[in-house]
Structure 1
Amino acid sequence: MSTGKEELEVDDDLVELEDDEAPAPVVEVAKTNLSKRRTIDNLLEERRLQRQLADYDFDL
């Protein structure tokens, strides 16, 4: 356990970014991931419906 008397090392090498150098927003990645997820969900739903249709007894 720490006794509270130890000195912690602090890195003061932070680089401040100007407005022009701001990192790109992560929104694009989220949109891409959501789009991929929707595509996968649609394919799985289609596969499920095709399986149900194949299992359906047409001779009722």
Structure 2
Amino acid sequence: MATEKSDIELDDDFVETEGDVEAADVPVSKTNLTKRRLIDNMLEERRLKRQISEYDFDL
């Protein structure tokens, strides 16, 4: 899922305008939020696995 990489072609003649900069910020923030959620989910899963392994089932 997160391991896919795509090739990006760059144009040397590209000139950024103010609208292009604002449009570029949105995917970056969404990507950062997605990465943060993935990390949170992984940490939660680890915590739950640790709790299960430490739980005394003989109660």
What interval of TM-score do these two structures reach, taking the shorter chain for normalisation?
A: 0.5 to 0.7
* Structure with bigger gyration radius: 1
> 5+ residue gaps in structure 1?
1-16
Residues in 2 aligned to 1:33 and 1:51: alpha-carbon distance in whole angstroms:
27
Q: Tell me which stretches of 4 or more aligned residues in structure 1 moved more than 6 Å.
A: none
Residues in 1 aligned to 2:27 and 2:58: alpha-carbon distance in whole angstroms:
50
Taking structure 2 as the reference length, the TM-score comes to: 0.62
> 5+ residue gaps in structure 2?
1-14
Q: Give the SS at the match of 2:20.
A: coil
Identify the residue that residue 38 of structure 1 maps to in structure 2. 37
Taking structure 1 as the reference length, the TM-score comes to: 0.61
Distance apart, 1:23 and its partner CA: 2.6
Q: Name the structure where helix makes up a greater proportion of residues.
A: 2
Identify the residue that residue 47 of structure 1 maps to in structure 2. 46
Q: CA RMSD in A?
A: 2.0
Distance apart, 1:38 and its partner CA: 0.1
